[in-house]
Amino acid sequence: MHEYAVTQSMVKMVVDEANKANAAKISEIRLVIGDLSTIIDDSVQMYFDIISEGTIAQGAKLIFKRVKAEFRCKSCGEVFIKPPVGFDCPKCGGLGTPTGVGKEFYIESIEIE
């Protein structure tokens, strides 16, 4: 459900920026979303379609770029992409902790006309 609030903020930001550039339309929005952010692409798309209605962002294509979650092993220091299940280091089997990579949620770019 938090996708509604972040999508609402995102639409406001892109519309404000496009208006500053005197754009008539926003045709594309590129979003970067980390796997640990808990943001669901389909929910963002659904809310975007509703919230953007009647704005210059209506009909814009959303492009989602996913960032894999990185972990660092407490035992050996290995940095690795989180496996599908668990947090175990593929090198030594130790416990991995998040590095911060994979928590992203930001607008990478907008394309305007």
Per-residue pLDDT for 50 more than 90?
yes
Handedness of CA 31, 44, 62, 57 (dihedral sign): negative
Contact 31, 108 (CB under 8 A): yes
**Cα Rg of the chain, angstroms:** 18
Residue 1 pLDDT grade (very low, low, confident, very high; cuts 50, 70, 90): low
Binding residues for Zn(2+): 73, 76, 89, 92
Alpha-carbon distance 45 to 7, whole Å? Answer: 8
Where is the binding site for Ni(2+), in residues?
A: 2
Which residues sit in the known binding site? 2, 73, 76, 89, 92
Residue 35 has pLDDT above 90, yes or no: yes
> What domains, with CATH codes, occur in the chain?
2-68+100-112 (3.30.2320.50)
Q: CB neighbours of 58 closer than 8 A, spacing ≥ 6?
A: 52
* Per-residue confidence band for 2, with pLDDT thresholds at 50, 70 and 90: confident
**High-pLDDT (> 90) share of the chain, %:** 96
Termini Cα distance of the chain: 31
